[in-house]
Amino acid sequence: MNKKQTFIGLALIVALTMFGLFQNAKDPKLALFLITGLAIGYVMQRSRFGFAGGVKKIYVTGDGTLTKALMFLFTISLLTTAAIHYGAFMEGAKIPAMSSVKPTNLGTVIGGVLFGIGMMFGGGCASGTLTDAGEGEIRALIVLFFFITGSLIGVYHMPWWEKSVFFKVGGKVYLPDVFGYLGAIIVSLLGFLLIYVITKKYEDKRKRENTYTKEEYSDWEKPLPETANYKFFSKETYHKFFVQRWSFYTGAVCLTIMFVAIILTTGKSWGVTSTFADWGAWLYQSVGIVDVSDWPWFASRMKKINGGFLNDPSSMRNIGIILGATISLLLAGKFSFKKNFKFRDILFYAIGGLTMGYGARVGLGCNAGALYSAICNFSLSGWVFLPAMTVGGIIGVNLVRKFNVTI
């Protein structure tokens, strides 16, 4: 283990603590969003949990462990949010996170397919791109730049999409309005069970065909051999707490905790990509390329844009995700900048970022907002986005293979 990196990681924690206190003095929400972002980034890196992998891993290797863990994540998250929603409903209070109940229309399908294709070219979804950037992946930084650009282009085109037939046909569907709360829970759980069964049968099929490859952890992520004279203050303990890889199921439980914490503290659910459009506005306005002040999508967001990057809670959360992943690898002594790609791959990373950014605007979110948050807050749109994103992901995997893109 690289002890120098461990001290750098500890120093970064101290620096972020001071920065958090500074932000808290301005607005407690800034510190709160930073903390939740740091936690999400740390959890996603330690467990290697990701939404894109739920499609890619099983399709490429036949190993559905992550896909099944995602169904576990959705199950425990949905049961928890069901209690929150129902509690508010019974008290006659405003139901939290209803902004995650999004319209279901052809835009949901188109956006989902585009996003699925893009995340395979980019090597991860929105939260995955942030986590990879925190791990030192130069590829992810390239993807992120074009993701931001694609988001801004998508926002620019939104007036056209909103007037088109792709958005006109359909509407918001909150499942408890159709099935009641108990019915919505049962229907959702049956959906998760169906996906779990399909995943298990597909795994079995790949095993019979000898095309199944079980994911293996790197040696440094595996548990250390047990010692006869174990001491708590030892390298074994440090390895257990800060180096050894968490299971996908541990990651699912921790992400659920953060998911619920976000809802309870903000009244909204977790999303990532709307903030990318804001980043695009700040970036391209600063160099005089665009002026978003008269863009309809930004009409209600100009106070945020004029307030600046450091005064935006959502930006703090996304930056927190990046730094949380960085801290995780520094404490493990395994951080490094990685550039294991060819120059030609940059074009495909750009396509991936642009496609994800644009698709996320058309589909009204990414795998965090349009899928995870939507489904777990009983929005029908999440169940439509899921198969669309999966189809796009499969198309994307095959295109990545065809063009031999390094991911």
CA distance 15 to 313: 18
- Closest C-alpha to 68, from 78, 82, 57: 57
225 found inside a domain: no
Query: Which structural domain, as residue segments, surrounds residue 338?
Result: 3-210+235-403
Query: pLDDT value at position 234?
Result: 85
13 found inside a domain: yes
Task: Give SS3 for 105.
Answer: strand
Task: Using pLDDT thresholds of 50, 70 and 90, give the confidence band for residue 229.
Answer: confident
348 found inside a domain: yes
Query: pLDDT value at position 117?
Result: 98
218 found inside a domain: no
pLDDT at 368 over 90: yes
230 found inside a domain: no
Number of residues in the chain: 407
Query: pLDDT value at position 380?
Result: 98
pLDDT at 91 over 90: yes
CA distance 206 to 242: 34
Task: Using pLDDT thresholds of 50, 70 and 90, give the confidence band for residue 386.
Answer: very high
Query: pLDDT value at position 227?
Result: 79
- Tens of pLDDT, residues 182-206: 999 999 999 999 999 999 999 999 9
- Tens of pLDDT, residues 284-335: 999 999 999 999 999 999 999 999 999 999 999 999 999 999 999 999 999 9
222 found inside a domain: no
> Hey, how many other C-beta atoms are within 10 angstroms of the C-beta on 283?
16
Query: Please, are residues 269 and 99 in contact by the beta-carbon 8 Å criterion?
Result: yes
CA distance 203 to 61: 9
> Hey, how many other C-beta atoms are within 10 angstroms of the C-beta on 196?
17
CA distance 40 to 222: 22
pLDDT at 283 over 80: yes
Query: pLDDT value at position 230?
Result: 78
223 found inside a domain: no
Kindly report the average pLDDT of the chain as a whole number.
96
Total number of domains in the chain = 1
Task: Using pLDDT thresholds of 50, 70 and 90, give the confidence band for residue 2.
Answer: confident
Query: pLDDT value at position 3?
Result: 87
Query: DSSP states of 146-161 as a string?
Result: HHHHHHHHHHHHHHHH
- Tens of pLDDT, residues 93-121: 999 999 999 999 999 999 999 999 999 99
pLDDT at 225 over 90: no
**Cα 29 to chain centroid, rounded:** 20
Query: pLDDT value at position 164?
Result: 97
The alpha-carbon radius of gyration of the chain (Å, integer) is 21
> Hey, how many other C-beta atoms are within 10 angstroms of the C-beta on 230?
9
State the distance between the two ends of the chain, measured CA to CA, in whole angstroms.
26
CA distance 295 to 170: 25
Q: Which tokens sit at 36?
A: 């939740």
pLDDT at 228 over 80: no
Q: For residues 244-273, give the mean pLDDT.
A: 97
- Tens of pLDDT, residues 119-177: 999 999 999 999 999 999 999 999 999 999 999 999 999 999 999 999 999 999 999 99
Query: pLDDT value at position 232?
Result: 80
Query: Please, are residues 34 and 20 in contact by the beta-carbon 8 Å criterion?
Result: yes
Q: For residues 34-58, give the mean pLDDT.
A: 96
Task: Give SS3 for 210.
Answer: coil
CA distance 188 to 77: 11
Query: pLDDT value at position 383?
Result: 98
220 found inside a domain: no
Task: Using pLDDT thresholds of 50, 70 and 90, give the confidence band for residue 62.
Answer: very high
Query: pLDDT value at position 231?
Result: 81
